[in-house]
Amino acid sequence: SGSTGMDVATATTVTLTDPTVHKIPLNAQGPLGHGLSALLLGRSSATLRGVFVLPGVIGADCTGPVHAVVWTPAPPVLIPVNSRIAQLILFVGQAYNADQVKRWSGSFGSTGLPAVLWVQAIQSHYPMLTCHLNNSEGKPHSIKLQGMIDTGADVTVIS
């Protein structure tokens, strides 16, 4: 019994002076040990104070200090040192050879090389895309999608 998460606190005092996203150092260090990974989630008490911690994953291969990505809709907000703004929910990850993948210190990295899978030129009018999806093993074998591209998104997912 007990709490599901392990609270983590800020390592420094931070003032959020604008509504953009900020990276804040926490009093946690990777690797977490025993091959464990963790979900980093905001505490409800921080949310009630107007500090929103964006969810993140701390991989078993993470080395160095752990940071939280936070934002506030109503700046300025002062977050004193040792404020418990987030929690780690530990889990055993199913990563491929995590011990053999070289990561850099400080988190916010990904394994493997960066990849651009598709690029669309943005025009002065609504950016439209026609996409043909083929599935040789399913029915229908092919579908055609047409829609406006969200130019504010980093990734588009079709499911």
Residue 137: the pLDDT is: 76
| Rg of the Cα atoms in the chain | 20
What are 6's strand-pairing partners? 88
**Amino acid at the residue 13:** T
pLDDT per position as a tens digit, 94-125: 655 555 555 545 556 555 555 556 665 655 66
Structure-block tokens of residue 115: 């990849």
pLDDT per position as a tens digit, 24-42: 999 999 888 888 999 999 9
7 is catalytic: no
Inter-residue contact 86 to 26 (CB < 8 Å): yes
Strands 52-54 and 64-71, how do they pair? antiparallel
CATH assignment of 6-100, given 3.10.129.10, 1.10.3720.10, 2.70.40.10, 2.60.120.10? Answer: 2.70.40.10
Inter-residue contact 158 to 117 (CB < 8 Å): no
pLDDT per position as a tens digit, 44-85: 999 999 999 999 999 888 888 999 999 999 999 999 999 999
Q: Region 114-142: what's the mean pLDDT? A: 69
Domain ranges of the chain: 6-100
From the candidates 61, 99, 150, 154, which is the catalytic residue?
Answer: 150
**Amino acid at the residue 4:** T
Residue 95: the pLDDT is: 53
